[in-house]
């Protein structure tokens, strides 16, 4: 047998390969030419046909907006609602001369300089093909006038839209937040989350508060309508409709009447109040004063109003209840007492001296008591009742920060509570690691934890800083004997359509590991606060149920050694903050409250009366005397004459 | 000394890139940025992302073009093995989206192993033929067919017909250039046509609908035929010169589905017309021609087989996508190379073209 040489083989292989290369290349060129031929057929020979089809493209998909979910209080009172109104909208892409059109429209309806400014702003932010509102909330008559002249203005439309409205304005500003027009940043965020399709045609989105946190629930799902359109793009006939799925309704744990009572009790003063149901973690009242009118933000706030709100020294835009950090002062003592008892640093019946000042061994620095004469020998309950500083200085010194931090931390102090609002601050429960990190850029002498640092921590001063929400939450945990809930404003979410109800955070997250009998000793102290000899004894007058509380005073400025605090001599902003925490009824707590009134001095003087009145209203329905007849959430108390009229009419 | 230094740096960066290929790709890139800006309704966000993808693509392309093909070749078996394992993983633990299981969730990232196979399979088959270059006989072709069939079947089962065809096609191109007998090729083609009725029965409902829609889109103008009709209207109404950049009414009135990804060519066609289409076809033909030249001049069997397969696969992507948008092929999810928006496809194509360049750079 003759075998071909390797060389010949290689040559044959090479030429075979080159042949296949040419065939492959020829095939590809042929296929690309086929594509080219197809394009020529479509774009040259069939051009007229397709151009006409495009011109009259008669079927378009129009998104149908879902209605935003309502927000209601626990009794079904609507706090955020939608109502229909007409808007005048312009689509820039369909316009030959926009300025002329606007001028002509101005002769039919009044277009204020503010409307015009807002229109320009929206125009700059939107796309050519999107309708931009020129005037919002037309009257029926104005809408009719435009509609009658519609033929003169291609690209101008009167649309019925739903507007969001917050009827209780300032009362709900820090709870509900507000919605606002979708801006480029929102757009980008939606694009990243792959939600843009569901916002096609949508104009507003939740920006702050519950409106923002529950955006996914409230917004709903777009529907679509296939409509036949004429050459001008106007819808002629609806072909098929996929209805939108409306947003889900939210029901809050909050009672708007209690909210109003709490809010009005502050009067012109600044501060915050949070009331929580210790058995559910539901937030019953949530006040941050001053507030603002959220309705201003919905369709773009004008810059003058914005400036005045933003630059106001009282900071109405800041949500003090979740963002305000204050030293808790003596309201810290019940939690400190729990930690001391649990650690064994002191027994529940142990007596300790409570003199007028406390000094550390080998130091002359005096840590003073708020009572310069001291309180004699006291046990832990008495120490809470009279708010002995020296008692808690000593306990803190005996325990040391390493034992205090983990135990007090159990009550959620110095951590975010996880409430369903954005922008919550975490606060500071001091520890060695915290100080090291906080002062990382300073010299080692500053960063180091000194044993003496712990002393002022023991009475809630020093580095301690918490939000009013954290204090209310900690009080609720104490009231419920260690049962921890995640505080939540929203209690139920009602599915649109199916009406199915989902509960929000209804179960306790955990139960604290404190010995159960310890709570009673601390609660006894807090009950004694409101008994003769306690720091808020005056407040107990006329109580028809049992109440436990604790006063507190948060220092705003440091007082020099040997000097005396003199409220009158200090400018208002430097006066102490007034704190009060409370829960009631003591046997089966239904409300836990934390109140802070800024720059209002001693806790019993300003904060405590507010807590008492709020608790009264929540438990007995008693409206504080000074608010009788001034509340918008409650019908005016019926006069004797009215009653007669009513029965006569019947 | 400034200028020479700058020049030296420039030379070091530019050296591994193939000048011709880069010129054609640059042209495609410019057109793709213009059309993406229009198709995304002028979203700078998408433009930013596309720039990031492009920088990533250039980086991997540079790395691949710098690597010696003989070195990269040795990675073919482990890469292939890993790809098959991941495909089995998809089968067992995959994430199901829209009825197909294509993704594997690795905690941090979700990957689509079939994407890896698009490159790993032709590399593997080419490596295999290179290894037995001197003793090739019919048994080797049989093994090669098995190498192609295993991942092909796994992807087909996901089910992802489009990708399965692309993967098996890439493997077949290697066989073709390796000298698979014409008898078998033609015999296979006949057998394939004969088996079509059987295949039809095996197809999933949505796949059958796509084929039927292709034959007569007007049967269901508001349902399955809608996309094809609208994209044909977009192309046709573009006419010889197009409606102009940012002026496509089909595009901006939301008639075109997936207009930044699979159907981006419809947007392009509407706004740039026949002239634009022929320009883009010419650019793609340029890439293909250059790829064929590199294949013809490749020094090793591995090099010519892989270069040929990469070039043919590139052509298939272009043809299938444009054919789909122009209504002559069924709708399968194949992106248009370097035009469609999407990071994975861009980077994996850059890897393939980088390898093509490195084969072109290797002299005897």
Identify the H or E element spanning B175.
helix B161-177
**Does any domain span residue A648?**
no
Which chain A residues are Cβ-neighbours of B233 within 8 angstroms?
Answer: 50, 53-54, 57
Task: State whether residue A46 sits within 8 Å of chain B by CB.
Answer: yes
Task: State whether residue A15 sits within 8 Å of chain B by CB.
Answer: no
Closest chain B CA to residue A200: B254
**Does any domain span residue A504?**
yes
Contact yes or no for B235 and A50 at CB 8 A? yes
Residues in chain B: 364
Query: What ipTM describes this predicted complex?
Result: 0.92
B213 and B357 share a domain? yes
**Does any domain span residue A420?**
yes
pLDDT value, residue A21: 94
A96 secondary structure, DSSP code: S
Is residue A642 over pLDDT 50? no
Pairwise pLDDT comparison (A23 vs A556), residue with the higher score:
A23
Q: Count structural domains, chain B.
A: 2
B145, B167, B193 - which closes a domain: B193
A245 and A280 share a domain? no
Mutate to test the interface with A, among B134, B169, B177, B239 (most CBs of A within 10 A): B239
Residues 6+ apart with CB under 8 A from B43: A191, B37
B214 and B188 share a domain? no
pLDDT value, residue A233: 57
Domain that holds residue B73: 67-193
Q: Is there a contact between A578 and A269 (Cβ–Cβ < 8 Å)?
A: no
B80 and B33 share a domain? no
Q: In angstroms, what CA-CA distances link A83 with A379, B81, B350?
A: 61, 62, 54
- Distance to chain B for A202, nearest Cα, Å: 15
User: In 10 A of CB A647, how many CB atoms?
Assistant: 8
Q: In angstroms, what CA-CA distances link A388 with A346, A354, A602?
A: 15, 7, 15
Q: Count structural domains, chain A.
A: 2
Task: State whether residue A57 sits within 8 Å of chain B by CB.
Answer: yes
- State the Cα–Cα distance between residues B95 and B101, nearest whole angstrom: 6
Task: State whether residue A9 sits within 8 Å of chain B by CB.
Answer: no
Task: State whether residue B236 sits within 8 Å of chain A by CB.
Answer: yes
User: In 10 A of CB A382, how many CB atoms?
Assistant: 21
Q: How confident is the model at residue A639 (pLDDT cuts 50, 70, 90)?
A: very low
A410 and A525 share a domain? yes
B274 and B258 share a domain? yes
Q: How many residue pairs bridge chain A and chain B with CB atoms within 8 Å of each other?
A: 121
Task: State whether residue A12 sits within 8 Å of chain B by CB.
Answer: no
Task: State whether residue B237 sits within 8 Å of chain A by CB.
Answer: yes
Contact yes or no for B274 and A128 at CB 8 A? no
B254 → closest Cβ in A28, A61, A191: A61
**Does any domain span residue A643?**
no
B176 and B215 share a domain? no
Mutate to test the interface with B, among A9, A29, A43, A231 (most CBs of B within 10 A): A43
B362 and B260 share a domain? yes
Q: In angstroms, what CA-CA distances link A187 with A200, A208, A301, B246?
A: 10, 16, 19, 20
For the record, the structure tokens of B174 come out as 């290697």
B26 and B139 share a domain? no
Contact yes or no for B237 and A13 at CB 8 A? no
Domain that holds residue A274: 265-299+312-627
A43 → closest Cβ in B235, B255, B319: B235
Q: Is there a contact between A339 and A404 (Cβ–Cβ < 8 Å)?
A: yes
Residue A219: give its domain's CATH number. 3.90.1310.10
A116 and A73 share a domain? yes
User: Of the given ranges (A221-235, A469-483, A505-519, B315-329), which has the lowest mean pLDDT?
Assistant: A221-235
**Does any domain span residue A39?**
no
Pairwise pLDDT comparison (A140 vs A470), residue with the higher score:
A470
A286 and A228 share a domain? no
- The residues with which B111 forms a beta bridge, in sequence order, are B104
**Does any domain span residue B15?**
no
A288 and A236 share a domain? no
For chain A, percent of residues with pLDDT exceeding 90: 49
B322 → closest Cβ in A35, A53, A93: A35
Q: How confident is the model at residue A641 (pLDDT cuts 50, 70, 90)?
A: very low
B348 and B250 share a domain? yes
- Distance to chain A for B277, nearest Cα, Å: 8
Instruction: List the pLDDT tens digit at each of the 364 positions of chain B.
Output: 567 888 888 888 888 899 999 999 999 999 999 999 998 888 888 899 999 999 999 999 999 999 999 899 999 999 999 999 999 988 888 777 656 677 777 766 667 888 889 999 999 999 999 998 888 788 888 999 999 999 999 998 887 888 888 899 999 999 999 888 888 889 988 988 888 888 788 777 777 776 776 666 666 555 557 778 888 999 999 999 999 998 887 777 777 878 888 899 999 999 999 999 999 999 999 999 999 999 999 989 999 999 999 999 999 999 999 999 998 888 777 889 999 988 888 999 999 999 999 999 986 4
B229 and B351 share a domain? yes
Give me the helix-helix angle, B343-361 and B44-66, nearest 10°.
30
pLDDT value, residue B345: 86
pLDDT, tens only, A433-466: 999 888 888 888 888 888 888 998 999 988 899 9
| Mean pLDDT computed over every residue of chain A | 86
pLDDT value, residue A567: 59
Which chain B residues are Cβ-neighbours of A42 within 8 angstroms?
Answer: 232, 235-236, 326
Is residue A486 over pLDDT 80? yes
Residues 6+ apart with CB under 8 A from B60: B347, B350, B351, B354
Mutate to test the interface with A, among B222, B234, B236 (most CBs of A within 10 A): B236
- State the Cα–Cα distance between residues B103 and B42, nearest whole angstrom: 30
Beta pairing, strands A156-165 & A78-90: antiparallel
**Does any domain span residue B187?**
yes
Residues 6+ apart with CB under 8 A from B304: A17, B177, B295, B296, B298, B359
Which chain B residues are Cβ-neighbours of A59 within 8 angstroms?
Answer: 221-222
pLDDT value, residue A638: 46
Mutate to test the interface with A, among B24, B174, B185, B233 (most CBs of A within 10 A): B233
**Does any domain span residue A204?**
yes
pLDDT, tens only, A301-345: 878 888 888 888 889 999 999 999 999 999 999 999 999 999 999
A333 and A239 share a domain? no
Distance of CA A258 to the CA centre of its chain: 19
A244 and A269 share a domain? no
pLDDT value, residue A649: 37
B158, B193, B228 - which closes a domain: B193
> What's the average model confidence in pLDDT over A29-34?
96
B210 and B285 share a domain? yes
Is residue A593 over pLDDT 90? yes
Task: State whether residue A54 sits within 8 Å of chain B by CB.
Answer: yes
- State the Cα–Cα distance between residues B237 and B235, nearest whole angstrom: 6
pLDDT value, residue A569: 56
Task: State whether residue B362 sits within 8 Å of chain A by CB.
Answer: no
pLDDT value, residue A391: 94
A-proximal residues of B, 297-336, CB under 8 Å: 304, 308, 312, 315, 318-319, 322-323, 326, 328
Which chain B residues are Cβ-neighbours of A31 within 8 angstroms?
Answer: 315, 319
- State the Cα–Cα distance between residues A392 and A404, nearest whole angstrom: 12
pLDDT value, residue B42: 82
Task: State whether residue A128 sits within 8 Å of chain B by CB.
Answer: yes
B358 and B290 share a domain? yes
User: In 10 A of CB A499, how many CB atoms?
Assistant: 8
Pairwise pLDDT comparison (B154 vs A227), residue with the higher score:
B154
Contact yes or no for A21 and B296 at CB 8 A? yes
User: Of the given ranges (A578-587, A594-603, B50-59, B79-88), which has the lowest mean pLDDT?
Assistant: A594-603
pLDDT value, residue B76: 94
pLDDT value, residue A87: 87
Contact yes or no for B233 and A13 at CB 8 A? no
> What's the average model confidence in pLDDT over A462-490?
95
pLDDT value, residue A647: 39
Q: How confident is the model at residue A640 (pLDDT cuts 50, 70, 90)?
A: very low
**Does any domain span residue A153?**
yes
Contact yes or no for B233 and A53 at CB 8 A? yes
Where helices occur in A499-591 by DSSP H, the ranges are 518-528
Contact yes or no for A57 and B177 at CB 8 A? no
**Does any domain span residue A18?**
no
B207 and B320 share a domain? yes
A173 and A280 share a domain? no
A498 and A597 share a domain? yes
Which chain A residues are Cβ-neighbours of B304 within 8 angstroms?
Answer: 17
A159 and A279 share a domain? no
pLDDT, tens only, A514-559: 999 999 999 999 999 999 888 888 888 889 999 999 999 888 765 5
A-proximal residues of B, 27-46, CB under 8 Å: 41-43, 45-46
Q: What is the set of active-site residues of A?
A: 330
pLDDT value, residue B218: 62
Q: How confident is the model at residue A116 (pLDDT cuts 50, 70, 90)?
A: confident
* Burial of A108 from C-beta contacts in 10 A (0-12 / 13-18 / 19+): middle
B138, B169, B193 - which closes a domain: B193
A515 and A539 share a domain? yes
A274 and A337 share a domain? yes
């Amino acid at each position: 047998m003759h075998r071909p040489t390797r060389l010949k083989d290689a040559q044959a292989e090479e030429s075979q390969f080159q042949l296949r290369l040419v065939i492959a290349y020829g095939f590809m060129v042929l296929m690309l030419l086929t594509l080219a031929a197809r394009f020529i057929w479509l774009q040259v020979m069939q051009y007229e046909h397709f151009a006409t089809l495009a011109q009259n493209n008669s079927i378009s998909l129009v998104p149908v907006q879902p209605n935003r979910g309502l927000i209601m209080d626990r009794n079904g009172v609507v706090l955020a609602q939608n109502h229909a109104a007409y808007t005048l909208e312009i689509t820039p892409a369909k316009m030959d001369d926009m300025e002329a059109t606007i001028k002509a429209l101005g002769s039919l309806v009044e277009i204020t300089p503010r409307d015009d400014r807002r229109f320009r702003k929206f125009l700059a932010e939107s796309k050519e093909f999107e309708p931009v509102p020129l005037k919002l909330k037309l009257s029926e008559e104005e809408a009719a006038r435009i509609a009658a002249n519609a033929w003169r203005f291609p690209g101008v439309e009167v649309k019925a839209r739903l507007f969001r409205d917050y009827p209780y304005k300032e009362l709900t500003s820090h709870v509900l937040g507000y919605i606002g027009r979708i801006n480029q940043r929102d757009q980008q965020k939606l694009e990243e989350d792959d939600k843009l399709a569901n916002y096609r045609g949508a104009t507003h989105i939740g920006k702050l508060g519950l409106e923002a946190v529950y955006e996914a629930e409230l917004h709903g799902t777009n529907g679509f309508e296939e409509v036949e359109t004429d050459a001008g793009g106007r819808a002629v006939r609806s072909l098929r409709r996929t209805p939108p799925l409306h947003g889900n309704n939210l029901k809050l744990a909050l009672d708007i009447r209690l909210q109003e009572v709490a809010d009005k009790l502050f009067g012109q003063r600044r501060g915050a109040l949070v009331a929580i149901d210790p058995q559910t973690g539901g937030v019953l009242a949530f006040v941050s004063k001053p507030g603002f009118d959220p309705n201003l933000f919905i369709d773009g706030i004008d810059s003058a109003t914005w400036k005045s709100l933003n630059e106001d020294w009282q900071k109405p835009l800041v949500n003090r209840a979740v963002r305000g950090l204050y030293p808790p002062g003596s309201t810290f003592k019940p939690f400190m007492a729990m930690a001391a008892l649990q650690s064994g640093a002191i027994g529940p019946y142990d007596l300790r001296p409570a003199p007028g000042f406390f000094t550390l061994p080998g130091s002359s620095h005096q840590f003073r008591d708020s009572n310069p004469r001291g309180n004699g020998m006291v046990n832990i309950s008495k120490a809470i009742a009279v708010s002995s500083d020296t008692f808690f200085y000593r306990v803190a010194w005996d325990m040391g920060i390493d034992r205090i931090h983990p135990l007090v931390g159990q009550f959620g102090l110095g951590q975010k509570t996880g409430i369903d609002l954005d922008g919550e601050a975490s606060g500071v429960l001091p520890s060695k690691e915290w100080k090291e990190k906080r002062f990382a850029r300073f010299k080692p002498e500053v960063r180091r934890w000194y044993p003496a640092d712990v002393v002022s921590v023991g009475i809630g001063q020093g580095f301690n800083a918490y939000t009013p929400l954290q204090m209310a939450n900690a009080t609720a945990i104490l009231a419920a004997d260690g049962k921890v809930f995640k505080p939540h404003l929203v209690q139920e979410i009602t599915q649109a359509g199916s009406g199915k109800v989902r509960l929000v955070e209804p179960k306790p997250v955990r139960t604290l590991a404190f010995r159960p009998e310890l709570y009673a000793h601390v609660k006894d102290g807090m009950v004694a606060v409101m008994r003769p000899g306690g720091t808020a004894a005056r407040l107990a007058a006329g109580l028809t149920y049992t109440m436990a509380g604790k006063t507190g005073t948060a220092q705003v400025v440091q007082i020099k050694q040997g000097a005396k605090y003199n409220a009158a001599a200090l400018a208002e902003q430097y006066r102490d903050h007034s704190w009060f925490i409370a829960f009631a009824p003591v046997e089966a707590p239904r409300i836990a409250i934390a109140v802070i009134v800024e720059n209002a001095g001693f806790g019993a003087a300003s904060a405590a009366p507010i807590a008492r009145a709020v608790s009264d209203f929540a438990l007995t329905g008693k409206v504080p005397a000074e608010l009788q007849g001034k509340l918008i959430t409650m019908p005016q108390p019926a006069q004797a004459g009215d009653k007669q009229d009513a029965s006569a009419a019947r | 000394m400034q200028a020479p230094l700058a020049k030296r740096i420039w030379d070091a960066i530019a050296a591994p890139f193939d000048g011709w290929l880069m010129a054609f790709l640059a042209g495609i890139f410019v057109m793709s940025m213009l059309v993406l800006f229009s198709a995304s309704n002028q979203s700078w966000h998408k433009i930013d992302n596309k720039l990031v993808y492009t920088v990533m693509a250039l980086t991997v392309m540079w790395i691949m073009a710098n690597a010696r093909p003989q070195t990269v070749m040795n990675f073919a078996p482990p890469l292939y093995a890993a790809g098959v394992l991941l495909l089995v993983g998809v089968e067992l633990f995959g994430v199901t989206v829209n009825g197909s299981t294509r993704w594997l969730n690795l905690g941090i990232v979700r990957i689509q192993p079939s994407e890896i196979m698009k490159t790993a399979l032709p590399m593997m088959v080419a490596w295999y033929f290179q290894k037995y270059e001197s003793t090739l006989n019919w048994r080797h072709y049989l093994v090669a067919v098995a190498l192609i069939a295993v991942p092909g079947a796994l992807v087909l089962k996901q089910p992802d017909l489009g990708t399965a065809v692309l993967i098996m096609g890439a493997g077949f191109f290697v066989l073709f250039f390796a000298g698979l007998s014409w008898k078998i090729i033609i015999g296979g083609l006949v057998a394939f046509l004969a088996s079509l009725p059987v295949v039809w029965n095996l197809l999933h409902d949505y796949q059958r609908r796509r084929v039927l829609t292709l034959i007569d889109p007007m049967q269901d103008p508001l349902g399955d035929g809608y996309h094809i009709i609208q994209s044909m209207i977009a192309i046709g109404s573009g006419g010889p010169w197009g409606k102009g950049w940012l002026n496509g009414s089909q595009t901006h009135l939301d008639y075109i589905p997936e207009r930044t990804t699979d159907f981006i060519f419809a947007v392009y066609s509407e706004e740039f017309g026949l002239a634009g289409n022929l320009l883009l076809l010419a650019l793609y033909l340029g890439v293909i021609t250059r790829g064929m030249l590199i294949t013809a001049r490749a020094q090793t069997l591995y090099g010519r087989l892989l270069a040929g397969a990469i070039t043919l696969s590139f052509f298939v992507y272009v043809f299938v996508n444009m054919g789909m948008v122009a209504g002559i092929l069924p709708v399968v999810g194949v992106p248009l190379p370097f035009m469609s928006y999407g990071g994975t496809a861009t980077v994996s194509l850059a890897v393939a073209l980088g390898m093509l360049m490195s084969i072109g750079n290797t002299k005897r």
